[in-house]
Amino acid sequence: MSKNVIIIGGGFAGISTAQKLASTDVDITIIDKTNHHLFQPLLYQVAAAALSPGDIAMPIRAIFSKQKNVEVVLGKVTGIDNEKSTVHLENGTTHSFDYLVLAPGAQYNYFGNEDWKKHAPGLKSISDALDIRERILFSLEKAEQIDDPEKRKPYLTYVIIGGGPTGVEMAGSIAEIAKRSMMQDFRNIKPDETKIYLIEAMDGILNAFEDPLSKKGQKTLEDMGVEVLLETPVKDIKKNGVEVEGRFIETPNIVWGAGVIASPLIKELEVETDRIGRAIVKPDLSIKGHSNIFVAGDAAHVKDESGDPLPGLAPVALQQGKFLGNLIKDDLKNKVRKEFEYVDKGTMATIGRAKAVADIRGFKFSGFFAWLLWGLIHIFFLIGFRNRFRVFAEWVWHYLTFKRGVRLIAKKDEDS
Amino acid sequence: MSKNVIIIGGGFAGISTAQKLASTDVDITIIDKTNHHLFQPLLYQVAAAALSPGDIAMPIRAIFSKQKNVEVVLGKVTGIDNEKSTVHLENGTTHSFDYLVLAPGAQYNYFGNEDWKKHAPGLKSISDALDIRERILFSLEKAEQIDDPEKRKPYLTYVIIGGGPTGVEMAGSIAEIAKRSMMQDFRNIKPDETKIYLIEAMDGILNAFEDPLSKKGQKTLEDMGVEVLLETPVKDIKKNGVEVEGRFIETPNIVWGAGVIASPLIKELEVETDRIGRAIVKPDLSIKGHSNIFVAGDAAHVKDESGDPLPGLAPVALQQGKFLGNLIKDDLKNKVRKEFEYVDKGTMATIGRAKAVADIRGFKFSGFFAWLLWGLIHIFFLIGFRNRFRVFAEWVWHYLTFKRGVRLIAKKDEDS
């Protein structure tokens, strides 16, 4: 009888595990609390009204429509029993497994200040992206109707917290929307009224990149009109603004990209975790004491050669997923398990319409060529030919015209 | 000093009025409670997960970005003062006009049963379409997890109320989603478990069309597996189903397309209205006693040559808008006003992937050719080259692959 493989999480790690097992005699169940796989690296473009949700998300069951050994369950996991090898869902059902791959991802960390969350949403789901998009669009509409430039200043002020790739990409996008793409559509507000802040607690942005890319990224942002505040931890966030040392920035437009913690689902496993809740796993990604339970992706603490944990990036999750698919195949043939080794193919972040920074195998690029490369790589990894074509077409349009694609305010609670 | 033209409503009538005045020396203010113009004839395709909201909606200020005499105000009108020639907004501001074009459209009529609305949403806004889309997608996911076919039957049952074009188009789309496009993605549920009802109180569907098209439309639906119940008024709607004479259809999937009334904003004008709240207007579309106040589109009761009111269709609204633009131009040159005459270029409704019915100037078409024609005409009228290209590409994809484009559940109140 075929072994049961349960995969919790339809992100990069979960999807690539299942895809690797396409021709293997196993019964795979993918459980996710949404019905879709989200291409998170492009989520900020939904928030910046450049792409539609449908461009970067694909229903999980559509991805596996032809892979008959995969069943997809829309549901929320409430418990995992290591001993009994079962998973419990919110709807009351229980699923048994021979192998469990737990890849639930990460979420934003507000350092204990949960009340900041409602004023400063993070960017982890389509919901989040649409929420941020609406706030940005509404802020422009609101400012347009206020005659006094002093009174409308807060609406044209934007604060992004966190100098990692997400924060940098959001800041660059908003600088474009506010300063270039959209201003011709408004009659009263002017691009130079916009004020964008990127706030970072450390002494540099894009810390995963080496100098000089980190400095180049900062300069590019500054040239686009973003004010980068380094060594500036956030002290408080209220509905009407952000407090840092020495000043209060008045704005309703606050985006949080400052730090992640692992999904709380990890607590359901009895496993040692690190400071941000990631499960400490062995070199084969299994947890101590249970060689049939694995954690992969952003929720796993996996050491690299220098003993540091691998970062929560898409290529890491993808490689781990493939590794686990192969490991399960080896297990079924009673082969010796390998150890996971991450192959760093490079890191990239885009900073705007045609600028990016990239570090590929030691070659450092920036500017237009990096942006092209970034674009092509992202399109390549997007799942689904249709999505690739649409995103490519959207970007070509955007590049040629500066026009932002999807500037739609369509709040669910609007009545007709 | 330039005359002020206020246009309330960014639908077909409002937009085409403003476009006609592009080179005229007037100051135009378009007020809408959403920020976008919606191509309503294709809204059912968003509900049926074939198109994204962004494909059929365009921000009003983007449409007029190059037309400098247009200002766009996002706001809700709360009052109109005929005597003082002013319009009041919810945000407290007041706007004066020399000419007022009131084109707020229509909404669904629940015949006094307002409690039906939450169980049976209508299809008038992007919000509505996304709500319906989610219900349909969730219903399939829910059914997939129920082993007992009897217990899952209600989730695979769909009731559409109203045999006009909207109801017919929705029924045809759901038949496709449920029976063909999506079933390969599910492992448990089967296409023949789906049951779709189109419920109509009159003795035929598509009553705006002449026989034999009305009968042909019904046959096409029935061939697609839709059960058409004629002369079947709805007696009650509950959360778990619809009651008609002699039976109760158990289902959470209910869509309302049964009747419209004019926007309640018409009550703010002191004007005579018809049975469904539409403003009775003179042949030049102005209201009695105020030659500078006009009503156009679905909210206007305009008589045709036989004395019957013109239907609430997009081509009617478009022609009225153009007429009003020209009328204002004539007024400014002190020319005599013309009377509005509708030129009926034909009516169409699509019933599925490649079938439609069309009545163009007395030539009656059906089937594949009608569908092609329908597609081309709709694309032509879509505003914005980008939207046209995207929708065209989406349809070609859909036709070639049967795959539905945007099957995304991304509810706003989902937490990450």
pLDDT confidence bin for B273, thresholds 50/70/90? very high
> Residue A369's pLDDT is what?
62
Q: How many CB atoms lie within 10 A of CB A197?
A: 20
Cα B141 to Cα B137: distance, rounded to the nearest angstrom? 6
Residues in A closer than 8 angstroms to B412, CB to CB, are: 127, 130-131, 411-412
> Residue B385's pLDDT is what?
56
CB contact under 8 A, B52 and A53: yes
Q: Is the dihedral of CA B240, B244, B247, B253 positive or negative?
A: negative
More confidently predicted of B115 and A108:
B115
> Residue B412's pLDDT is what?
42
CB contact under 8 A, B185 and A411: no
Residue B347: pLDDT above 70? no
Q: Does B52 touch chain A (CB under 8 A)?
A: yes
- Residue located via tokens 């078409």: B365
Query: What Rg, from alpha-carbon coordinates, does chain B have?
Result: 22
Cα A110 to Cα A124: distance, rounded to the nearest angstrom? 14
Q: How far apart are the first and last CA of chain B?
A: 54
Cβ-based neighbours of A362, under 8 Å, separated by 6 or more = none
Per-window interface: B 331-370 vs A, CB < 8 A: none
> Residue A155's pLDDT is what?
94
Cα A248 to Cα A241: distance, rounded to the nearest angstrom? 7
Beta bridge partners of B88: B79, B94
Looking at every residue in chain B, the average pLDDT score rounds to 86
Per-window interface: A 383-402 vs B, CB < 8 A: 386, 389-390, 393, 397
Q: Does A147 touch chain B (CB under 8 A)?
A: no
pLDDT in tens, B10-22: 999 999 999 999 9
Interface probe for A, chosen from B39, B148, B185 (most Cβ of A below 10 Å), is: B185
- Of the candidates A266, A288, A283, A284, the residue with the CA atom closest to the CA atom of residue A275: A266
CA A297 to chain centre: 12
> Residue A68's pLDDT is what?
93
> Residue B51's pLDDT is what?
83
Q: Does A256 touch chain B (CB under 8 A)?
A: no
| Token code pair at residue A360 | 């590929």
Q: Which of B35, B64, B414 sits opposite A127 (nearest CB)?
A: B414
Q: Does A108 touch chain B (CB under 8 A)?
A: yes
Cβ-based neighbours of B246, under 8 Å, separated by 6 or more = none
**Cβ(B309)–Cβ(B302) below 8 Å:** yes
3.50.50.100, 1.25.40.10, 3.20.20.140, 3.40.50.150: which CATH number matches B114-258? 3.50.50.100
User: Which of A320-334, B316-330, B393-407 has the weakest average pLDDT?
Assistant: B393-407
Q: Does B107 touch chain A (CB under 8 A)?
A: yes
- Residue located via tokens 């996911």: B141
Cα A85 to Cα A293: distance, rounded to the nearest angstrom? 9
Beta bridge partners of A179: none
| Nearest residue on chain A to B126, alpha-carbon basis | A410
Smallest Cα distance from B124 to chain A, Å: 6
**Cβ(B271)–Cβ(B280) below 8 Å:** yes
pLDDT in tens, B222-255: 988 899 999 999 999 999 999 999 999 999 999 9
Q: Check A83, A169, A231, A268 and give the catalytic one.
A: A169
Strands B57-59 and B99-102: unpaired
> Read out DSSP for A336-368?
PP---------EEEE-SSS-EEEEETTEEEESH
Interface probe for A, chosen from B31, B33, B35, B93 (most Cβ of A below 10 Å), is: B35
> Residue B413's pLDDT is what?
36
Smallest Cα distance from A339 to chain B, Å: 31
More confidently predicted of B185 and B350:
B185
Beta bridge partners of A295: A102
> Residue A170's pLDDT is what?
87
Per-window interface: B 189-228 vs A, CB < 8 A: none
Q: Check B90, B141, B169, B270 and give the catalytic one.
A: B169
Per-window interface: A 24-43 vs B, CB < 8 A: 33-36
Calculate the dihedral angle through the C-alpha atoms of B395, A64, A395, A189, rounding to the nearest 10 degrees. Answer: 90
Cα A175 to Cα A197: distance, rounded to the nearest angstrom? 10
Residues in A closer than 8 angstroms to B386, CB to CB, are: 397, 403, 405
Q: Which of B65, B405, B408 sits opposite A36 (nearest CB)?
A: B408
Residues in A closer than 8 angstroms to B53, CB to CB, are: 52, 406, 408, 410
Q: Does residue B227 have an active-site annotation?
A: no
CB contact under 8 A, A416 and B107: yes
Cα B394 to Cα A386: distance, rounded to the nearest angstrom? 9
Residues in A closer than 8 angstroms to B72, CB to CB, are: 185
Q: Does A140 touch chain B (CB under 8 A)?
A: no
Domain range list for chain A: 3-33+75-108+260-332, 114-258
- Residue located via tokens 């396409």: A22
Q: Which of B44-48, B347-351, B362-366, B395-399 has the highest mean pLDDT?
A: B44-48
Q: Does B179 touch chain A (CB under 8 A)?
A: no
Same CATH topology for A3-33+75-108+260-332 and A114-258? yes
CB contact under 8 A, A408 and B57: yes
Q: How many CB atoms lie within 10 A of CB A376?
A: 11
CB contact under 8 A, B91 and A145: yes
Smallest Cα distance from A265 to chain B, Å: 12
CB contact under 8 A, B406 and A54: yes
CB contact under 8 A, B393 and A389: yes
Smallest Cα distance from A53 to chain B, Å: 8
Q: Does domain A3-33+75-108+260-332 correspond to CATH entry 1.10.3720.10?
A: no
> Residue A347's pLDDT is what?
62
Q: What are phi and psi for residue A71, nearest 5 degrees? A: -115, 140
List the pLDDT tens digit at each of the 416 positions of chain A: 899 999 999 999 999 999 999 999 999 999 999 999 988 888 888 888 878 888 888 889 989 988 999 999 999 999 999 999 999 999 999 999 999 999 999 988 898 898 999 999 998 888 888 888 888 888 989 999 999 999 999 999 999 999 988 888 889 888 877 766 667 788 888 888 899 999 999 998 887 666 677 888 888 889 888 999 999 999 999 999 999 999 999 999 999 988 788 999 999 998 999 999 999 999 999 999 999 999 999 999 999 888 889 988 888 999 999 999 999 999 999 999 999 999 887 666 655 555 565 555 555 556 666 666 666 766 666 666 566 666 766 666 655 555 555 666 665 433 32
Q: Does B59 touch chain A (CB under 8 A)?
A: yes
Residues in A closer than 8 angstroms to B131, CB to CB, are: 412
Q: Does A59 touch chain B (CB under 8 A)?
A: yes
> Residue B393's pLDDT is what?
67
